[in-house]
Amino acid sequence: MEAHHSWLLMQLADSAFPTGGFVHSGGLEAAFQCGAVSAASLADYLADALLQCAMTQLPFARATFDEPQALAERDRDFDLRCLVPAANRASRAQGASLLATSAKCFRRDELVALRAAARASASPCHWAPCFGAVARLLDLPREESLRCLLYQQLRALISTAVRLGICGPLEGQYLQQRLAVDAEVLLAMSAACPWQEAAQPLPLLDLLHACHDRLYSRLFAS
């Protein structure tokens, strides 16, 4: 991978890149308040969440990386599979922010056109399809881009766990490096899953996430 690609990927993965991911818990807040997650079971929950991401988001990110011109179609296909209202809102918010931020920060005609086309077609702008298309238009390597997406998912969940007090920051960093091995296996596994076969292998995670809007008090938007 060329050096400028590494810099771009680090920028996309940086929490300072304004896509708003820090305001979403990915369902962890609801799972924690419902008693489905504790400090002792956090690692297992994170592994399950990574599997869910690998089998739902990565196939769509891979599809739009291969065919960024098909973003609108794949975006609508993803929308049909993202049935939990809180998760759907979060994915739309982050995807739209990614398109807007990328168009303004990287100032490439292709990204500006992609954002304009998405707005003109009233596309949902979900995170995973948009990430794949943006990575392709930035000329980034495909597998490194997908690894970056999976990394961001894990990092966001661990950051959420720390903010909720499920674990401390040092324990969070330990889990980050420990689960990187699982993430790499899942990245390879997802390569055999076309977007047409993408599905949630762990529906309980979606059921827990669906409880978010019913929580009495919330730290995160979703």
Q: Would you call 79 helix, strand, or coil by DSSP?
A: helix
DSSP 162-179: HHHTSS-HHHHHHHHHHH
- pLDDT tens string 203-213: 999 999 999 99
Residue 1: pLDDT band with limits 50, 70, 90:
low
Domain regions of the chain by residue span: 32-211
Distances in Å between the Cα of 106 and the Cα atoms of 40, 91, 100, 166 are: 42, 22, 10, 37
pLDDT tens readout for residues 72-126: 999 999 999 999 999 999 999 999 999 999 999 998 999 999 999 998 889 999 9
In the structure encoding, which two tokens stand for residue 124, read together?
A: 């949902």
Q: 32-211, which class in CATH?
A: mainly alpha
Q: How far apart are CA 12 and CA 136, in angstroms?
A: 13
